Structure 1
Amino acid sequence: MSSSGGRRQWRPAAAGLAAALLGLGAGGIVAAIFARAFSPLVVVGSAVIDLTPGALKEAVIRVFGHGDKPFLFVVLSVVVAVVATLAGVLEVRRPWLGRAIVLAGGALGVAAALSRADATPLSALPAAVAGVAAAWALAFLVRRMPPAEPPRAQTAPSRRAFLWWSAGAAAVGLIATVGGQLATRTASAAANARAVFKLPRPTASTPPVPAAASFDVPGITPVITPLPQFYRTDVELVIPQLDPQQWSLTVHGLVERPFTLTWAELNELPMEEHYVTLACVSNEVGGPLISTAKWLGYPVRLLLERAGVKEGADMVYSESFDGYTAATPLEAMTDPDRASLLAIGMDGQPLPFARGFPARLVVPGLYGYVSATKWVVDLKVSRFADQKGYWVTQGWAEKAPVKQSSRIDVPRPGRTLAAGHQWVAGVAWEQHVGISKVEVQVDDGPWHEAELARAINADTWVQWRWAWDATPGDHQLRVRGTNAKGVQQTSGVSDVLPDGATGWHTLEVTVK
């Protein structure tokens, strides 16, 4: 192939990429105006998440953690770029074939948008506009591509003109994409509503966290997790922003008196405060997917009492605004000794959007995938025999009480320590049961009982520490707990699938 021929190969690819960017930008602008949660990449990404097997989702979360959603966006962007490049090449060789591929991509976006539970008649418009705009731009740019042979007529398209048109289309697409995202965020009625919302004063306040609940050990996990650090695992590519004035909660199913609760009505109910630690079932032994906060909300059991649960029901089927579902044991929702809340506040603030504003469920002692539905809009009293939650259909266990676990925060893995006094410290938990003892082992030596901080309550984790007289050499540290019922944490190792990981957290350190 000649050097000039090689240089010409990029032109169809450039046309395809520029057309795709223009289409995505047009779709993003339309989404910002008519359907904010339905930009083309978002709806396709959401469909990919729904269609991905549970084991593969778990593998992605395990590898990328909080970066799982950016990773998916990167993968989608690469796929779009490859398909767009192919469409450009085919459009040059066989007119209409490239446009057909682009329009097919738009059709997939339309189907993905309409498949969502929160779809409206306008939800398909962004993907449709993106497909049509990209197809038009592809044809436009290909017609302005300079010919393979040197032009004989002055009217033949020039290379410089093609470059300007392609660069212009790509720039407009990028600007429109970024502008659409910014418009979606800044023009959100939900953002304005949350900014001015004042939490109601609780009728049952929880006492402040006692000083004895925290140890002064550098590097130990704070008893109360700072809001920006609170873990997040959900199936949303873009954090939803619901206008609370449009929010309502329907309670129905196997009940005597179904009803719908509005936002104004919810905020007139007597609220309670409770400290609760939430954990994700995807958390590996020693992992970070667990956090603690002070929650403000209305007891779910009182909502169910108002509805009048019928005999034979054993589960509450909660649903998010976009169709995500979870199945929670009815007994956990109705237990008067368990702080199961329809929460609207977190650490003295309205729920952050990423944590479920305007309302979410908080149920102590159960992994989040069966209990912690964010942006909740529906509670259906049902039976496990009749319905399954989203993650159960992906291969996870039907019922998922949090398993007893403990974690070493200090020292950090791989650290080189100085010989002499060193703290070994961390947190231990078994929500709604509590921890009575934590022990630490160095290498294969005896187990040493650690000092426990004062637990806030049985629904939160507890800090622990042990003073180690470290000797030079490579050492292995491990930790185990014993719960308030006297049951010791199992040493048996199990994966997070299907109902949570088990085993003793172990790490290697070097002392010099």
Structure 2
Amino acid sequence: MTRMRTLGFGALTGVAAAGAALGVAEPVAAAVGRGSSPVVAVGLAFIDLVPRPIKDFGIETFGQNDKVALLAGVFVILAVFAVVCGVVSLRHRLLGAAGVALFGVAGVVAAVTRPGAGPVASLPALVGAAIGVGVLLFLAPRAAAVVSAQPPAGSPKPEIPAEPTPDDERTSGRADAMRTDEGASGAADAMRTKTPNGVTATSRRRFLSLAGSALVVSAGLGVAGRYLSSLRDVAAERLKLALPAAADPAPPLPAGVDLKLPDLTPFVTPEKDFYRVDTALAVPQLSTDEYRLKIHGRVRSPMTLTYQDLLDRELVERVITLSCVSNEVGGTLAGTARWLGVPLKALLDEVQPEGGADQIVTRSVDGWTCGTPTSVVRDGRDALIVVGMNGKPLPIERGYPVRMLVPGLYGYVSATKWLVDIELTSFSDFDPYWVKRGWKAQAPIKTFSRIDTPRPLANSKAGTVTVAGVAWAQHRGVERVEVRVDGGEWNVATLAPVPSADTWRQWRWDWDATKVAPGQHTLAVRATDRTGATQPEQRAKPFPDGATGWHSVVVTVE
């Protein structure tokens, strides 16, 4: 029991101290600016330092909720560390305080090493750590006193004097009768103070009150900090923004581009369903008023553009499918939208790249880097500096106010969000973020097909079953999709029309399920692009340049 009491009171001491540190840090971070929240900074540092297999596991396990899972993991680790510090502080107060200070140092290092961060970014972690250490040093001796005053397990309860009898009162002497009311009250108080259980109960209540108050105040400060940070939110600015019409609008979608079948992915992806994969734990809030796009490096005429400069240029609109290299066979990390932006080739023509500048390194406002072959951007495809999506300004989580997009390349080499910097360099001179972590420097999107309906393990009545899905091979285009049942012969599916080779393509095949026996059957799909290349059967994981393999589902025919 003594060990449990020590753990309980020590844990509360540590958690209250950590809560105070984080609670105070949030308003300070709101005042300092982006990227300085200790939890976010530590989480971003974890993303940068963790080995690739762990990253892959996180994406595979949590999908687009990987950031929520990471932040939850940071809080769990912090809570465990705080409990350890609190328990240690009951016997070694300074050692426990040093533990809290150590976490503050980690927050400082994580914050100041973020790209573009200055010394001021250390303030939230420094102030928070100082407050956390102070709270621990204040609570630890009080918690220790409560634990030490507790009677050992199995010890007899203190004796309580029996009520005096009338004879006792008569023989107690006149001196007792002469006690004043004040003296009697003082004696009673003295006796209560000396009673071990009384001391423990009073001290325990006082400690719990202090620790609880610290947690409540910390939570209030945290909420206030989050509110102050929200004042930087550019959502209101985005809603008021009106984009100019495209000088070169996208042509109307061909009739029948969307087969509109139940469970089939729509041709144009709604904003809420568009996938999101990036390293930003806190979505950057970049105002158009402060926006600057710098184009420099190995160029003859570097330039810097404002947001209005981009809007004043001739904008083009194109329907393009994006796909993430992390997409597994049968995965959903792909989407199609109508994008509005400035042709990147036109900007490169103006800055005049020098010979040997074979890589375009783009940087996000949070420091993430991406490398794109210069030749791909200048080969005639619609590489864009994007300002709009589906007729509106870019959603904040999709890169507002400006992002990049290059059809036919996986996002990690082409689709920088919150874009602020374009540098012309070479592949031999610089390795971008994911290339440093083992992914290939050049990554054209592989031919891919997926069955959307019927769903895996679905039950189907004997009869005609519609098998349908999507296939893509951006910038090459899908020429043919085939489906087979239980490893039999391939059947050519009907393809929906598409506006260009830069989008995915819906397909369908009507399966006569009366020709098979009742029970489980396996449907498989493969696609062939317009170069004549058919996607390979053998499955490969996404690392290092995209997954391959035929997608299949098992269904039951009744």
Over alpha carbons, which structure has the higher Rg? 2
2:524 to 478, 488, 492: 478
TM-score by length of structure 2 reads 0.89
Quick check: 2:149–2:199 contact (8 Å CA) kept in 1?
no
Amino acid at match of 1:168: S
2:208 to 141, 150, 163: 163
**Counterpart in the other structure of 1:141:** 139
**Counterpart in the other structure of 2:487:** 444
**What is the distance in 2 between the residues matched to 1:162 and 1:215?**
66
**What is the distance in 2 between the residues matched to 1:329 and 1:5?**
63
Amino acid at match of 2:298: L
Q: Give per-residue Cα distances to partners, 1:366-425, cap 9 Å, x unaligned.
A: 000011011111111111111111000001011000000100000111111111111100
Q: Give per-residue Cα distances to partners, 1:203-223, cap 9 Å, x unaligned.
A: 011123233101131000010
The 5 A counterparts of 1:59-78 are: 59-78=57-76
Question: Which region of structure 1 is more displaced relative to structure 2, 277-286 or 153-162?
Answer: 153-162
**Counterpart in the other structure of 1:194:** 238
**Counterpart in the other structure of 2:541:** 495
Residues 5/278 of structure 1: CA separation in 2 closer, same or farther (3 Å cut): closer
**What is the distance in 2 between the residues matched to 1:207 and 1:449?**
29
**Counterpart in the other structure of 1:364:** 407
**Counterpart in the other structure of 2:102:** 104
1:260 to 301, 304, 326: 304
**What is the distance in 2 between the residues matched to 1:6 and 1:192?**
51
**Counterpart in the other structure of 2:189:** none
Question: Which region of structure 1 is more displaced relative to structure 2, 135-144 or 474-483?
Answer: 135-144
Q: Secondary structure at the match of 2:372?
A: strand
User: Is residue 177 of structure 1 aligned with residue 219 of structure 2?
Assistant: no
Identity across the alignment (%): 44
**Counterpart in the other structure of 1:13:** 11
Quick check: 2:458–2:556 contact (8 Å CA) kept in 1?
yes
User: Is residue 33 of structure 1 aligned with residue 31 of structure 2?
Assistant: yes
Amino acid at match of 2:527: G
**What is the distance in 1 between the residues matched to 2:235 and 2:118?**
21
**What is the distance in 2 between the residues matched to 1:412 and 1:189?**
39
Q: CA deviation at 1:189?
A: 5.5
Q: CA deviation at 1:179?
A: 3.0
Quick check: 1:422–1:468 contact (8 Å CA) kept in 2?
yes
Quick check: 2:34–2:284 contact (8 Å CA) kept in 1?
no
**What is the distance in 1 between the residues matched to 2:88 and 2:468?**
61
Q: Give per-residue Cα distances to partners, 1:68-100, cap 9 Å, x unaligned.
A: 111111111111011101111111111211111
**What is the distance in 2 between the residues matched to 1:467 and 1:237?**
44
**Counterpart in the other structure of 1:420:** 463
Number of equivalent positions: 508
Quick check: 2:300–2:354 contact (8 Å CA) kept in 1?
yes
Q: Give per-residue Cα distances to partners, 1:402-458, cap 9 Å, x unaligned.
A: 000100000111111111111100000000000111000000211110000011211
**What is the distance in 2 between the residues matched to 1:6 and 1:315?**
61
Q: Secondary structure at the match of 1:357?
A: coil
Q: CA deviation at 1:155?
A: 8.8
Q: Secondary structure at the match of 1:158?
A: helix
User: Is residue 212 of structure 1 aligned with residue 260 of structure 2?
Assistant: no
Quick check: 2:6–2:87 contact (8 Å CA) kept in 1?
no
Question: Which region of structure 1 is more displaced relative to structure 2, 272-281 or 117-126?
Answer: 117-126
Amino acid at match of 1:497: F
**Counterpart in the other structure of 1:392:** 435
Amino acid at match of 2:265: T
User: Is residue 49 of structure 1 aligned with residue 94 of structure 2?
Assistant: no
Amino acid at match of 2:88: L
Question: Which region of structure 1 is more displaced relative to structure 2, 254-263 or 173-182?
Answer: 173-182
**Counterpart in the other structure of 1:90:** 88
**What is the distance in 1 between the residues matched to 2:350 and 2:33?**
35
Quick check: 1:361–1:376 contact (8 Å CA) kept in 2?
yes
Q: Give per-residue Cα distances to partners, 1:250-290, cap 9 Å, x unaligned.
A: 11111110111111211111111011111110101110111
Q: Secondary structure at the match of 1:319?
A: strand
Residues 5/328 of structure 1: CA separation in 2 closer, same or farther (3 Å cut): closer
Question: Which region of structure 1 is more displaced relative to structure 2, 27-36 or 253-262?
Answer: 27-36
Quick check: 2:496–2:507 contact (8 Å CA) kept in 1?
yes
Amino acid at match of 2:55: K
**Counterpart in the other structure of 1:301:** 345
Residues 166/275 of structure 1: CA separation in 2 closer, same or farther (3 Å cut): same
Quick check: 1:341–1:361 contact (8 Å CA) kept in 2?
yes
**What is the distance in 1 between the residues matched to 2:539 and 2:338?**
32
Amino acid at match of 2:211: S
**What is the distance in 2 between the residues matched to 1:85 and 1:191?**
38
Amino acid at match of 1:68: D
User: Is residue 381 of structure 1 aligned with residue 424 of structure 2?
Assistant: yes
TM-score by length of structure 1 reads 0.96
Amino acid at match of 2:128: A
The 5 A counterparts of 1:217-232 are: 217-232=261-276
User: Is residue 506 of structure 1 aligned with residue 552 of structure 2?
Assistant: yes
Q: Secondary structure at the match of 2:27?
A: helix
Quick check: 2:297–2:424 contact (8 Å CA) kept in 1?
yes
**What is the distance in 2 between the residues matched to 1:482 and 1:228?**
30
Q: CA deviation at 1:33?
A: 2.2
The 5 A counterparts of 1:106-145 are: 106-145=104-143
Q: Secondary structure at the match of 1:104?
A: helix
**What is the distance in 2 between the residues matched to 1:343 and 1:123?**
30
**What is the distance in 2 between the residues matched to 1:373 and 1:431?**
18
Q: Give per-residue Cα distances to partners, 1:329-366, cap 9 Å, x unaligned.
A: 00121222x11000011111111111001100010000
Quick check: 2:321–2:335 contact (8 Å CA) kept in 1?
yes
Q: CA deviation at 1:327?
A: 0.7
Quick check: 1:54–1:391 contact (8 Å CA) kept in 2?
no
Q: Secondary structure at the match of 2:376?
A: helix
Amino acid at match of 2:50: T
Structure 1, unpaired ranges of 5+:
none
**Counterpart in the other structure of 2:362:** 318
**What is the distance in 2 between the residues matched to 1:383 and 1:131?**
43
Quick check: 1:416–1:509 contact (8 Å CA) kept in 2?
yes
Quick check: 1:35–1:126 contact (8 Å CA) kept in 2?
no
Quick check: 2:35–2:111 contact (8 Å CA) kept in 1?
no
Amino acid at match of 1:48: F
Amino acid at match of 1:208: P
Q: Secondary structure at the match of 1:108?
A: helix
Quick check: 2:528–2:535 contact (8 Å CA) kept in 1?
yes
1:235 to 279, 285, 294: 279
Q: Secondary structure at the match of 2:278?
A: coil
Structure 2, unpaired ranges of 5+:
151-192
**What is the distance in 2 between the residues matched to 1:214 and 1:243?**
36
